[in-house]
Structure 1
């Protein structure tokens, strides 16, 4: 059997609350399918499955708080392998939500019936005055789930018992609800990040390096490339910096690893990119296989992921498996950024603001755009010599941006 466990969505996550199952026993699951919604300090996250099979059993009740690594569901492989362990028990919340609700009696002649509805679906229905007693559920055992309520509100199922004008109905529709559900408090985000960084600071012996890089070639290349493009297709320096980090990790792979009692070098280069949230706090989505992406593909990823990160609309796969992290404050930010390593990673790279400075070059003094790059490394895994090799490789790649742009 295939065991599906609560994934870790970063070092700052210890548990999450199972809000709603998206699948039910007997459903076929393909790689990348969404199996559940989980509420975390990063907001409501869609949890994906990366195995193929048929759901044999869901082991948790909706509403229960689930520690990272807890077995949540069991899948039967498509080859028909039989179950070899007892997974019959179902974990319920400490204070279980009512799963069956008394239906509203449409007339005194009709008998009262019980309606199965998930806690989240019930909450949305009550907030928007939707009569869920007349809705046909599509969830496990015929339970009414969130999408059933949303479908009703969109007007494609049985209408609510109150007459709602189309303009009012549109305002009450799911996007607004999702936004409210997906927005965690700033305090919760800061608390989670602070806990993870405090632990990192206590347990990881950090070393810090910095290098000043002349960005004249890189900025000139970007200006030339962008001069031939429409505004929506133009490249930002961040895309080039991510590509240069990926290329440098190819040359110095010791920094592309995790610490698991010893250094484990990862084959994939998955770069976590720190995104600041407008209300405060950060979230770190991961760009998978960054070394295989072109600069244009990286720019497309940034344009897509940053707005979704700030609206708390990321999937579980986008918040896991980073092998190294980049922190870039961008234009107008601080000149230098010294990051704290995001465990179990062993390095974080910080990019400050690009500033104009007088620089001596070929016996002449000129004004050049300069960038301070910092590296925070885990001394258990690497040392200053390895870190210096990485920064040297990074400088080399940024002096020949046209080569990065061809990949």
Structure 2
């Protein structure tokens, strides 16, 4: 039996709260499957399984807060299939008798009248009966995957034994749904979902007041209070006792997040000897290429300047590997790839830095799609454990906030952080002529234990060089 433990989902995480199990004992799990939902000081994260096997005993109940490294469950790894057993050798006399029996001529059996065919009652599979009852037997993991993909299990025809719905059925249905015109879906914040479960409120009956009709926590509280609470009284009456609202965790959550960020950044400033570099990058070629690309692309495939900046930062990190990795145990360890951490500000305050894995190998369009998906899931609390840990270098872009220059604090145990500001028009001299060109300020915060200024300068020079040939990114 292997132990499934509370993972470390960042250098600032000391403990986590198990919110929900997505599997049950006896369920088959595969490496990379989400098996639990864990809440940290920053966000709610889906934690993946680290190996393939059968889920054993669940050791921690939902709602329990435990330190990092605590055993949450037991997993029985998938064993090798049983070896083919050799047939026992028969006695010599039995073998001779069997050979003689095979040599004996076979006489045809007398023909018999064919009995009339019996009509057997039609067999109804369990799956069919379940479909008729509107119920499908499926484990929590499958239900979670179906819910995340917007698939109703009752509409699927299972291909597993006995008509059971399998993971493949759900994934194929989700892929087919992406090709079709997507229906309007109700977006609900994680806090609103939690309150709806506590107050027994049907989310389908809640009218959202957030952006694009999103359901917020206040909408759930109003629905729990009932329509009478919203309607003015027809006659004067003494004020009724207010409906007791549940404990509001948003303030506590925000305070815990700020405390976690403060602790990590204090340690980073104390332990990491930072040095800072900056350069001004001419973005004329990059912006011309971007405008031409977007002019011939549908709206859904148009790119933002951030995509070019991120791709240049990732490729430059591959070319200057000294800034791409970790400082631990008094030495530098290079990353196993360029896993670009992207700083994302959250709607309720605070930030997270999920990773775009192998960002240097993604083409620019796929990187843009991955960035949109990552930001959306970060702000709705749907990140996975593998996305909040393992970043080898972090990039922060604050151009959309109007900032022109940003010097960040390194996220330990990384050794570098890249900052980009807003693309602005500035007068500058090119080939002896004065003109106005779009430029962006690129900065580097680096760990002096791992590199010196010369290495940092090579990195920023590589970023500049790559942005002058955007068609090659």
Instruction: Please state which band the TM-score falls in when normalised by the shorter chain.
Output: 0.7 to 0.9
Q: CA deviation at 1:194?
A: 1.5
How far apart are 1:383 and its partner, in Å? 1.2
Structure 1 residue 227 and structure 2 residue 295: aligned?
A: yes
> Pairwise CA RMSD of aligned residues?
3.2
Partner of 1:283: 352
> For structure 2, which runs of at least 5 residues remain unmatched after alignment?
82-134, 146-151, 155-200, 208-213, 221-247
Query: 1:368 maps to which residue?
Result: 437
- Per the alignment, residue 5 of structure 1 pairs with 5
For residue 331 of structure 1, give the secondary structure of its aligned residue in structure 2.
helix
1:390 equivalent among 436, 443, 459: 459
Pick the structure with more helix per residue: 2
Task: Please report how far the alpha carbon of residue 138 of structure 1 lies from its aligned counterpart in structure 2 after TM superposition.
Answer: 8.1
The answer to whether the Cα contact below 8 Å between 2:27 and 2:139 also exists between their aligned partners in 1 is: no
How far apart, CA to CA, are the structure 1 residues paired with 2:5 and 2:338? 24
**Matches of 1:217 and 1:136, distance apart in 2:** 56
SS in 2 for 1:301: helix
How many residues in Structure 1 have an aligned counterpart in Structure 2? 332
Write the mapping of 1:153-302 to structure 2, written as runs, cut at 5 A.
170-171=204-205, 185-261=253-329, 262-302=331-371
- Distance change >3 Å, CA 146–CA 250, structure 1 → 2: closer
Contact 1:207/1:384 (<8 A) preserved: yes
CA contact (8 A) 2:340 2:356 kept: yes
**Quick one: distance in 2 between partners of 1:400 and 1:172?**
51
1:351 Cα deviation from its structure 2 partner: 0.4
- Paired with 2:374 and 2:436, the residues of 1 have a C-alpha distance of 35
Bigger Rg over Cα: 2
Alignment match, 2:421: 352
Tell me, in whole angstroms, the C-alpha distance in 2 between the residues paired with 1:65 and 1:138. Answer: 28
Q: TM (normalized to structure 2)?
A: 0.65
| TM-aligned CA distance change 1:193 to 1:351, over 3 Å | same
Q: Output one character per residue of 1:192-241: Cα deviation in whole Å (capped at 9) or x when no partner.
A: 21111111111111111111111111111101111101222100011111
Contact kept in structure 1, 2:22 and 2:144, CA below 8 Å: no
Distance of aligned partners of 1:231 and 1:199 in 2 relative to their CA distance in 1, 3 Å threshold: same
> What does 1:329-348 correspond to in 2, within 5 Å?
329-348=398-417
- What is the deviation of 1:136? 12
> What is the DSSP-based 3-state SS (H/G/I as helix, E as strand, rest coil) of the residue aligned with 2:383?
coil
Specify the alignment match of 2:77 in structure 1: 77
Q: Is the 8 A contact 1:211 1:372 kept in 2?
A: yes
Q: Following superposition of structure 1 onto structure 2, how do residues 127-138 of structure 1 map, counting pairs within 5 Å? A: none
Decide whether the 8 Å contact of 2:16 with 2:68 is kept in 1: yes
Provide the rounded CA distance (Å) in 2 between the counterparts of 1:66 and 1:289: 32
Q: Which moved more, 1:44-53 or 1:249-258?
A: 44-53
Alpha-carbon distance in 1 for matches of 2:216, 2:437? 49
Aligned to 1:61: 61
Task: Supply the distance in 1 between the matched residues of 2:361 and 2:403 (Cα, whole angstroms).
Answer: 30
- Contact 1:213–1:371, Cα closer than 8 Å, also in 2: yes
How big is each residue's C-alpha offset from its partner over 1:6-37, in whole Å with a ceiling of 9 and x where there is no partner?
A: 22222222111112222122221112211111
TM-score, normalised via structure 1 length = 0.75
Kindly state the Cα deviation for residue 172 of structure 1 after the two structures are TM-superposed: 5.8
Sort the Cα spacing of 1:182 and 1:381 in 2 relative to 1 into closer, same or farther, 3 A: farther
Compared CA separation, residues 335 and 14, structure 1 to 2 (3 A)? same
Large movers: runs of 4+ above 3 Å: 135-140, 175-185
**Structure 1: gaps of 5 or more residues:** 82-134, 148-153, 157-166
Q: Distance in 1 between matches of 2:139 and 2:30?
A: 18
On the 8 A contact 2:54/2:77 being kept in 1, the answer is yes
| TM superposition shift of 1:59 | 2.5
What residue is the counterpart of 2:48 in the other structure? 48
